[in-house]
């Protein structure tokens, strides 16, 4: 293999490594968004389930101010 071909192979390998790193960061970002969405959904479910109690607490706090 000639030095020129070796250089081309190394450059291609670097491109693949960089592409994999970008893909990994993208996937990590998607996972974070999915986690945030799941957490927001759980918070919404909790609030919906306990809305009367939450309203009573907020009313009590407001009346004490």
Find, among 57, 35, 34, 36, the residue nearest to 47 by Cα.
57
C-alpha 54: how far from chain center: 29
Local confidence pLDDT in tens for the 65 residues of the chain: 788 888 989 999 999 999 999 999 999 999 999 999 999 999 999 999 999 999 999 998 888 88
Question: Is the pTM of the predicted complex or chain greater than 0.75?
Answer: no
To the nearest 10°, report the CA torsion of 24, 29, 30, 34: 140
């Amino acid at each position: 293999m000639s030095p020129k071909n070796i250089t081309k192979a190394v450059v291609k390998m670097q491109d693949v490594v960089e592409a994999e790193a970008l893909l990994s960061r993208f996937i990590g970002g998607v996972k974070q968004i999915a986690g945030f969405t799941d957490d927001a959904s759980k918070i919404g479910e909790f609030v919906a389930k306990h809305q009367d109690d939450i309203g009573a607490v907020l009313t009590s706090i407001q009346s004490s101010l």
